């Protein structure tokens, strides 16, 4: 419940006076009252570092930078200028500043800007997913400096700061991560008022993430609002990779790190860093933004996008970052192609007398007769030093992949300055740290 509805008439009037007339005092008061926060903040997590968020109040023409480090603390509070026409932006040229949860998509330095934009400019992601769902149009909404004095409601829709203020603020901004929440008036709430919905949203997101790794298409799709997202175009390709990953036996997981949740006008925006792990290998997928709505006891996703690859109008959509990360990790779990590539690496290393690369092809617990890996490589090193040249090739390779072990059988033609042989070679492979390694080998003359 909004904080001002929970206190007595006298205190309510006191807070209203402060928030509408003496904003710097409000910031000091909040700093001294860690149980109070702007009601936009449901949850913030910057990992090991502090997380920052910017709030713009159009009514008072103030911008406040908040830091979350266990409590929501105002760092500084400065004057700004927003659109000269009141209200929520709906179209290009209406001279209104949009309201909602936005993120910065880049930074333009002074050398790239006209003088009117001052020292620097941060483009915002207006229209965002929620704006698009509501038919709001327009573009080129920035937070920027200026070459003139700051006046109330003096922009064409951008958020304008004094050059000194935007330079100070820029130190706390991470592109595609730091939110700028724009509202007509800030309302405050007690710190734990959102605890129940926070727990529900967190549980929902982790169930959704679990369905991506282990659920069916129907299960995963059920987390989305069918009126806005009725199909997942990339699912079939992911499912093929997921099946191959399962067959490999390599453990996998998908992590949601630095999960923050913001609220505006009944819509929740969750922001997190997504990572996929295969064995011990971890790939950073990207920063993902998910918009959610609640109706009765139901939560559904109404928007889902990766921050760094937001498609522009009339341009082909970029490759899905999740699929790209899976492709990058494929070498740690794929089957036949990787086995044959390892055989080629092993043969080439032996021909080149590259014992270090040759040894890298073997598992740590490799054994051949009475020799362990160390003794085997010492023997191979002595042989490589004895022969003037080594030539070895393969024919008719047959690869069989399994969950825990795989094998490659082929005809091996071996020639060196002191020995020649043709035989059937069999290499047995096992997974070690997510990669295939030679575990056993056999040879018989033909």
Q: Are strands 405-416 and 390-400 parallel, antiparallel or unpaired?
A: antiparallel
Could you tell me the pTM of the whole model? 0.72
Mean pLDDT over all residues of the chain?
Answer: 88
| Model pLDDT for residues 344-400, shown as the tens digit of each residue | 999 999 999 999 999 999 999 999 999 999 999 999 999 999 888 899 999 999 988
pLDDT for res 291: 98
Q: Are strands 252-264 and 41-43 parallel, antiparallel or unpaired?
A: antiparallel
Domains of the chain: 3-190 (2.40.440.10), 200-326 (3.10.450.50), 336-445 (3.10.450.50)
pLDDT for res 247: 77
Q: Which residue positions in the chain have pLDDT lower than 70? A: 1-34, 309-318, 331, 334-337, 403
Q: Which of 221, 219, 245, 215 is CA-nearest to residue 233? A: 221
| Model pLDDT for residues 211-248, shown as the tens digit of each residue | 999 999 999 999 999 999 999 999 999 999 998 888 77
pLDDT for res 203: 97
pLDDT for res 314: 41
């Amino acid at each position: 419940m909004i904080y001002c509805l929970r206190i007595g008439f006298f205190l309510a009037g006191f807070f209203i006076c402060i928030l509408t007339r003496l904003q710097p005092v409000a910031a000091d008061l909040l700093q001294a009252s860690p149980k109070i926060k702007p009601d936009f903040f449901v949850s913030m997590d910057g990992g090991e570092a502090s997380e920052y968020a910017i709030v713009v109040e159009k009514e008072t023409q103030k911008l406040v930078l908040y830091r979350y480090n266990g409590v929501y603390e105002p760092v500084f509070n400065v004057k700004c200028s927003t659109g000269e026409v009141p209200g929520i932006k709906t179209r290009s040229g209406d001279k209104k500043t949009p309201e909602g949860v936005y993120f910065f998509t880049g930074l333009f330095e002074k050398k790239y800007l006209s003088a009117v934009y001052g020292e620097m400019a941060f483009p915002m992601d207006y229209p965002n997913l929620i704006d698009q769902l509501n038919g709001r149009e327009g573009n080129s909404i920035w937070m920027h400096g200026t070459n003139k004095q700051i006046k109330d409601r003096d922009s064409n829709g951008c958020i304008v700061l004094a050059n000194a203020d935007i330079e100070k603020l820029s130190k706390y901004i991470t592109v595609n991560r730091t939110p700028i929440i724009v509202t007509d008036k800030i309302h405050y709430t007690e710190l734990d008022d959102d605890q129940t919905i926070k727990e529900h949203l967190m549980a929902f997101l982790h169930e959704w993430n679990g369905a991506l790794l282990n659920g069916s298409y129907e299960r995963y799709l059920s987390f989305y609002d069918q009126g806005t997202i009725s199909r997942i175009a990339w699912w079939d390709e992911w499912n093929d990779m997921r099946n191959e990953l399962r067959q490999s036996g390599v453990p996998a997981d998908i992590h949601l790190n630095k999960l923050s949740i913001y609220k505006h006008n009944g819509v929740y925006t969750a922001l997190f860093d997504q990572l996929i792990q295969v064995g011990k290998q971890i790939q950073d997928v990207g920063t993902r933004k998910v918009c959610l709505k609640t109706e009765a006891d139901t939560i559904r996703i109404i928007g889902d996008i990766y921050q760094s690859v937001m498609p522009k109008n009339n341009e082909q959509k970029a490759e899905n970052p999740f699929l790209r990360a899976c492709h990058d990790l494929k070498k740690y779990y794929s089957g036949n192609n990787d086995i044959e590539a390892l055989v080629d690496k092993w043969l080439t290393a032996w021909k080149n007398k590259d014992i270090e690369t040759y040894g890298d092809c073997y598992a740590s617990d490799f054994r051949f007769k009475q020799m362990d890996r160390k003794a085997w490589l010492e023997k191979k090193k002595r042989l490589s030093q004895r022969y003037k040249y080594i030539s070895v090739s393969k024919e008719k390779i047959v690869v069989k992949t399994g969950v825990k072990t795989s094998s490659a059988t082929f005809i091996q033609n071996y020639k060196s300055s002191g020995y020649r042989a043709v035989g059937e070679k069999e290499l047995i492979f096992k997974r070690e740290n997510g990669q295939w390694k030679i575990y056993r080998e056999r040879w018989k003359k033909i």
